Structure 1
């Protein structure tokens, strides 16, 4: 039985919290909540469960460390405040507490991460003899587990393309995703944060370089591309309302180039409702989103991952799956050698341990 603290109860955290409470191999001992209105509330209330857990949310990190948990599940948003998140995660690691999380997406491929994000956490792991693992769906699963599975089916690969095609209309995250991607902006407005020079390759370039390393491919460069789609009509959805002339779709990619041609590509097509960007790729009929890996080679391989849930929207299903990528490896991470680990270091069977009960 692993003693676990849940850090944050937002879009992903509420689902990881619910999973921890329901797992017979995990014991929830603490919950962190930054919002004053959540502090003092029972964990069950924060994740939609009816039976109280007796574990009340706190904003006191020292109090959580004092609980001496085996692991912290860190799902707070980190990309907009990386230095604060680095400090928080390092506190747990230095105290000898393992951390699994979905924040600081640069660490999905830790060997490719810049020194400013990697080195402080490596030092913290060494100080506390602890382990850190960061992953998710994309960045994460589609660019590591799914891509490597597809590549294992070919004798020769000419190119690899990892694609996310999703309708974000029902994703209730305008505060970060909506503003960072620039939905609603006009062509004359400033380029949104997510697509400022170097940002695409900063987030997704590590996935490209990581696959290149696995393939033994020497890339000439990793470049990015970005294009926006502006709606001629008003679009209303859960995330926001986009007025005519506003951006309601975006397509962007990080491309690993060799000999002038992209050979490893990580691409996203994101729209608000199916009405947006009608000439761009759509998921297979009947689905709101898909993660696809296409390997051009001998033979050609196409792998599609589509999520669903009996009562939740596909974007919520995606949040559950994002959380699953870290909750499912808690036991392995607690047994792993100290340091920052990547998905390719974890035996596949360890990623599904203890799921059936």
Structure 2
């Protein structure tokens, strides 16, 4: 760590992911927290430490004033605000920092995990902002992100020939306190008579995860005939109570969905989620190994067959919160490299793997 620059950083948002990235920034000797953005009146005016569960005050007070944060002249902003339900606002917020010459790393706007495949409405204004400020933008997480890029790349490096690639998130969301977004988007608690949940309206799954399929296909030099999506709901037979919500009989308690890259009528690249509320939901569907609550898994059928499972744990946090911590880490760990990078949109392929582990031990 000797002679390494200390990066001045602003944390933007302090929700399920942001409180973990905030805590990480405060704790790292190679980063200096200079500002915090908060949207809620219950958070504005509070010390950053209080917002992420630390006892020692930092002296950095949360604000909703973006101009004031820009005036602090940070080198990087960690953007973890929910953007998928307010994309225009999220693009405008990120662009203000980028135009001011401030780099941005984040976990929001998951389309940007594969920026080369993002639609023009999203990609072009952010490219223009990067060019205007000579700044860089990088977005990643654990899923979308790690499971569909870093883990896939590692698994594929172990085969001499690949026949198919399957990426899975198999998670019990019962303990995840995020009904406002995840719960409503996936439709937990809805019935078959209700409108199709937001996340499963035609084309939405492909918009969120299709870039991952296209990216893997591109790296494999594989031409796909089509990209298709599938969705399967599971409705409860008995009442299920959990942190996410309470599900009554006949209401949605589990979902299985995927985006498939198809060649000659056969799926060759699949990104699939199996998400349930407690083990009582969809007992006939696949569970994580070893009685765990969640797993991110990559299976490459080839020579040889490779199966790579990533299982998170923490002495205090449950597995969904540990997933939020890892999501935050995917952004925070890239700060130094992104600050050194040429201006523009950054994808995981641009970053040398060892650059993501700098500063992790002190």
If the length of structure 2 is used for normalisation, what is the TM-score?
Answer: 0.98
2:291 matches 1:283: no
Alpha-carbon RMSD:
0.4
Runs of at least 5 residues in structure 1 that lack an aligned partner in the other structure: none
Deviations 1:274-301 (A, max 9, x none): 1100000000123100000000000000
Structure 2 residue aligned with 1:90 = 95
**TM-aligned CA deviation for residue 100 of structure 1:** 0.1
Structure 2 residue aligned with 1:158 = 163
Structure 1 segments, 4+ long, off by >2 Å, are none
Deviations 1:29-82 (A, max 9, x none): 000000011000000000000000000000000000000000000000000000
Structure 2 residue aligned with 1:304 = 309
Runs of at least 5 residues in structure 2 that lack an aligned partner in the other structure: 1-5
How is 1:1-357 mapped onto 2 (pairs within 5 angstroms)? 1-357=6-362
Name the SS for the 1:225 alignment partner: strand
Task: Tell me how far apart the structure 1 counterparts of residues 206 and 129 of structure 2 sit (CA, whole Å).
Answer: 27
Name the SS for the 2:73 alignment partner: coil
Task: Tell me how far apart the structure 2 counterparts of residues 269 and 317 of structure 1 sit (CA, whole Å).
Answer: 18
**TM-aligned CA deviation for residue 249 of structure 1:** 0.2
Name the SS for the 1:218 alignment partner: coil
Task: Tell me how far apart the structure 2 counterparts of residues 72 and 175 of structure 1 sit (CA, whole Å).
Answer: 25
Task: Tell me how far apart the structure 1 counterparts of residues 248 and 240 of structure 2 sit (CA, whole Å).
Answer: 7
Aligned residues: 357
Task: Tell me how far apart the structure 2 counterparts of residues 191 and 234 of structure 1 sit (CA, whole Å).
Answer: 21
Deviations 1:295-334 (A, max 9, x none): 0000000000000000110000000000000100100000
Name the SS for the 1:123 alignment partner: helix
Task: Tell me how far apart the structure 1 counterparts of residues 213 and 120 of structure 2 sit (CA, whole Å).
Answer: 18
Task: Tell me how far apart the structure 2 counterparts of residues 202 and 286 of structure 1 sit (CA, whole Å).
Answer: 32
Task: Tell me how far apart the structure 1 counterparts of residues 307 and 132 of structure 2 sit (CA, whole Å).
Answer: 44
Task: Tell me how far apart the structure 2 counterparts of residues 109 and 281 of structure 1 sit (CA, whole Å).
Answer: 28
Task: Tell me how far apart the structure 2 counterparts of residues 131 and 312 of structure 1 sit (CA, whole Å).
Answer: 32
Deviations 1:319-351 (A, max 9, x none): 000000010010000000000010011000001
Task: Tell me how far apart the structure 1 counterparts of residues 69 and 294 of structure 2 sit (CA, whole Å).
Answer: 37
Name the SS for the 1:285 alignment partner: helix
Name the SS for the 2:316 alignment partner: coil
Name the SS for the 2:283 alignment partner: coil
